[in-house]
Structure 1
Amino acid sequence: MSRSRDLLETLVGFDTTSRESNLQLIEFVRDYLAGFGIASELVYNAQRTKANLFASVGPVELPGIVLSGHTDVVPVDGQPWTLPPFTLTERDGKLFGRGTADMKGYVACVLALVPELVKTPLRLPVHIALSYDEEVGCLGVRSLLAVLEQRPVKPMLCIIGEPTELKPVLGHKGKLAMRCDIQGQACHSAYAPSGVNAIEHAADLICELGRIGQRLRSHQDPRFNPPFSTVQT
């Protein structure tokens, strides 16, 4: 417990808000793992200001289990914090700080297990995967997945330690995001029929999306809340 708490204190101390670099945290984890003889692979973004980390313990020639977490956190701007968000504070038996739950606490627990993992004769490998920019669209993990896709031996299972109150998530509705640009044709308001009012056409499109959303309500699945797919502009 003390090891995971110490690690969490260090991790929370890195301001890895998605708009900032996560390299200080990643380099700390890389050096920590190196202390146990574990090599890390870093997959950078195009600007080399952020990186994913992938490391393995055990027989890498076999499919293994990935313990995965993201390193970024959401901003603290304009929020009524009564404690310093990037300093771990213990109060009433709880640990406070930005990212303690989502999800540096999980990352700290995984890292705290490393000494035991390296001493254990593992039948399957355990991989540690840390990503960047999850909070702004799961951006970083995509390049890491592309690297893993090229491996001859791929992981068999991934455990993502998001804070779900220990309730397993067994399904996901999925998501589709689209962007639509509507261009009009300017004209004098006295000759409105000669032009194209982009706002009015956009309003028609938004109303149609609302009608699609109403139709989707008829296809319900009680596993989800709400139990139907949703549409929003």
Structure 2
Amino acid sequence: MSELKLPSVTISGIEDYLEQHLEQRDNIFKYAERLANEQKASIVGPIIGNFLFTLTKMVNAKKVLELGSSIGYSTLWFAKAIGKDGKVTYTDFSHKNMEIAKSIADKAELTERINFYVGDALEFLSRTNEQYDIIFLDLNKDMYFKALEESLNKLKKGGLLIADNILWGGRVRWSLDDENTKTIKKFNTFISNAPNLQTSLIPIRDGLSITIKLRD
């Protein structure tokens, strides 16, 4: 009997397949994706956006903080998931990004669910007295570890700390000296081994970590 030869499977091919199953997403997300492409803005994309929506619904999150929001694409998924009595806090350095994010939120009729902050996300984090159900890290990668301790302080027991780009284009596999790679590797090691945390590292797109805060 001859051996069955299967075609090689690429990551991009798998992502194309997964995205085919998200065609039913609201047109506002597709609009935001086109806008991100025009603006050359980095966004998490529909696969992770849909996953964030699902996680938010699963834990019934009502208070979400994003550290690094760009044009507000992931903000949109969170805002859709939290319901009318929830709030997402958007943070970004760029006024231009914030204005684009507001225009998208207006078009989606979700503006009332979002608090917009322009400035240093870590400064906002250190000053806020809120306790969050979900904190999402997607800021400059060399800031991930600096954001970690303060994020855990502002996260409710049982809350989720979610971080994007934890595979960093595969560079975490190698001994590289650049600050971004070293910081992400340090971040991944800590969240995977801390006794008060339970973490899964998920290899979708550029990697997503999901960490449950078990106790203070």
> Larger relative contact order (C-alpha < 8 A, sep ≥ 6)?
1
More strand by share: 2
Q: TM-score, normalising length from structure 2?
A: 0.26
Q: Please state which structure has a larger fraction of its residues in helix.
A: 2
Scaled by the length of structure 1, the TM-score of the pair is 0.25
